[in-house]
Structure 1
Amino acid sequence: ARVSLIEIPSRTEIKSKNLFSVKDVIAHWHPDGTYLAIQVARFTKTKKSSYNGFEFFRVKERDIPMEVLELANKQEKIVEFAWEPKGHRFAVVHGDGARPEVSFYTMKDPKSRQAKHLGTLHGRPVTSIHWSPQGKYVIIAGLKGLNGQLEFFNVNDMDTMAINEHFMCTNVDWDPTGRYVATSVTSVHQMENGYIVWSFLGQQLYKVNRDRFFQFLWRPRMPVKLGEEREAEIQKNLKKYSKKFEAEDESLKSQADTEKLAERNKMEADWKAFVERKQAEFAATEAQCAALVRLSGYVETDQDVEIEEVEVEEVISMKEEKMAK
């Protein structure tokens, strides 16, 4: 077999590689075209079995250098390959059986020009890998037959943040910002249809059950045209920017608290003014009533009253009877 990179529209061949004893070839382009990974399955000398490996093209570098990557066990089945959308890393799911392994590599190694192995997760219930659109985070998912096992993984720290389950899950969809992810069960199953929205840390935020659910889509967002250098500079100085924005947030919060306190003070002043106004109206009404009483000639006296209790005995009937001796 022969793999060729062709420039369009000139149709000029800019790089090629001859491959031998090829059984199958699968091409995996990096989302921004930086790299091309060729997954190659080759026959052994006996032609009775095959082994796997990768051919990498660094497309945006001078002369498009190539390199070969072979797994420790070349006989293992390649289940899944996935590039980090914004970055230089990739993940490979490899192994036989229901619990294969997940290996992470990077194309950026300051000590060499070769792909570097970062680490391997052993015995994971996984069928697919889902990178965050912003990179760094990945969901290791065991869908369909594995009942929706979800592992939220931080590749920078090589650390598992959370392990959850969405029973019978069929789809995993990240939102464009990389802050949220939705898992869903579509109508390919007759039961458990609906979706769950998670944070990138693996915390469940929202759940909806809906019969005959077909598809979940996030609203697309306009790309941020800052350029790679500007984005890298922001990532590098993120703590400095964070402090600036936190100070602005604190200022806005303080302003909001001041406005709320002023509103409460105004409500209290209005209430006190209302009470004083009503007290003045009551005093005026009381004075008018007293003047009317004086004009009528009625004089109120505050004489003491004595209460005397008198007991009266009254004979109601009398009857005499003789007692027998």
Structure 2
Amino acid sequence: MNLHGPLVHVPSKKVLVNTLVVGAQNCEMHWQSDGNYLAVLLDQSSERHPSAYINIAIFELKKPHIPVEFFEFERESKIVAFAWEPKGHRFGVIQGLTPYSGELTFYDVDLLQVLATKKTMAMNIQWNPTGRFVATRCPPFSKKKMD
């Protein structure tokens, strides 16, 4: 399936960016709290190509011509959670092959680089309102799962 995604200015209805993604099966959007960035998580796998990849497209709305940066992930590594730093230019992603065995990675959009990576069993990520701290949540373990 192809996804066609125009970004439209309201109320003028002017199309700011017009994006076509070929082969996308799913799309999830996350706005940064100040509205400076829009992250679009694109799942580009299919029955014919199950080992395709996942992209995160970052639209930088405050820059002229709204540049788009892509971060690519291997399909085997499912994105479990995504969260923007409030009022900032960093985001965190939890990705993993199976539940309880993932990586928490922080990215800087301005520098286009990885800031830190840590093994985690977390399934959720939340920034505090100041952007100074990050909290993660791990599901409770049952005795059966631990054996």
TM-score by length of 2: 0.86
Q: Are 1:141 and 2:130 counterparts?
A: no
2:53–2:75 Cα contact (<8 Å) kept: yes
Question: Larger % of strand: which?
Answer: 2
1:91–1:102 Cα contact (<8 Å) kept: yes
In the alignment, the residues of structure 1 paired with residue 50 and residue 107 of structure 2 have an alpha-carbon distance, to the nearest angstrom, of 30
Number of aligned residue pairs: 139
When residues 146 and 79 of structure 1 are mapped into structure 2, their CA distance, relative to the original with a 3 A threshold, is farther
- Could you tell me which residue of structure 1 aligns to residue 23 of structure 2? 21
User: What percent of counterpart residues are identical?
Assistant: 31
Tell me the SS of whatever aligns to 1:121: strand
Q: CA deviation at 1:47?
A: 3.5
1:78–1:94 Cα contact (<8 Å) kept: yes
In the alignment, the residues of structure 2 paired with residue 22 and residue 126 of structure 1 have an alpha-carbon distance, to the nearest angstrom, of 27
Q: Which of 4, 7, 10 is 1:8 aligned to? A: 10
Q: Which of 55, 58, 65 is 2:57 aligned to? A: 55
- Could you tell me which residue of structure 1 aligns to residue 97 of structure 2? 96
Deviation track 1:100-143 (CA, whole Å, cap 9, x = no partner) reads: 1100001122xxxxx21112101x12010110100021012214
Which ranges of structure 2 fall in alignment gaps of 5 or more residues?
A: 143-147
In the alignment, the residues of structure 1 paired with residue 141 and residue 116 of structure 2 have an alpha-carbon distance, to the nearest angstrom, of 24
In the alignment, the residues of structure 1 paired with residue 87 and residue 50 of structure 2 have an alpha-carbon distance, to the nearest angstrom, of 40
Aligned pairs for 1:282-297 (under 5 A) are none
Structure whose alpha-carbon radius of gyration is higher: 1
Deviation track 1:234-268 (CA, whole Å, cap 9, x = no partner) reads: xxxxxxxxxxxxxxxxxxxxxxxxxxxxxxxxxxx
2:51–2:75 Cα contact (<8 Å) kept: no
When residues 47 and 99 of structure 1 are mapped into structure 2, their CA distance, relative to the original with a 3 A threshold, is closer
Which ranges of structure 1 fall in alignment gaps of 5 or more residues?
A: 110-114, 148-325
Q: Which runs of 4 or more aligned residues in structure 1 lie more than 3 Å from their structure 2 counterparts after TM superposition?
A: 47-50
In the alignment, the residues of structure 2 paired with residue 95 and residue 51 of structure 1 have an alpha-carbon distance, to the nearest angstrom, of 13
Question: Larger % of helix: which?
Answer: 1
Structure showing greater relative contact order (alpha-carbon pairs closer than 8 Å, 6 or more residues apart): 2
Q: Are 1:125 and 2:127 counterparts?
A: no
- Could you tell me which residue of structure 2 aligns to residue 85 of structure 1? 86
Q: Are 1:116 and 2:116 counterparts?
A: no
1:130–1:140 Cα contact (<8 Å) kept: yes
2:53–2:72 Cα contact (<8 Å) kept: no
Give the residue type in structure 1 aligned to 2:124. Answer: S
- Could you tell me which residue of structure 1 aligns to residue 145 of structure 2? none
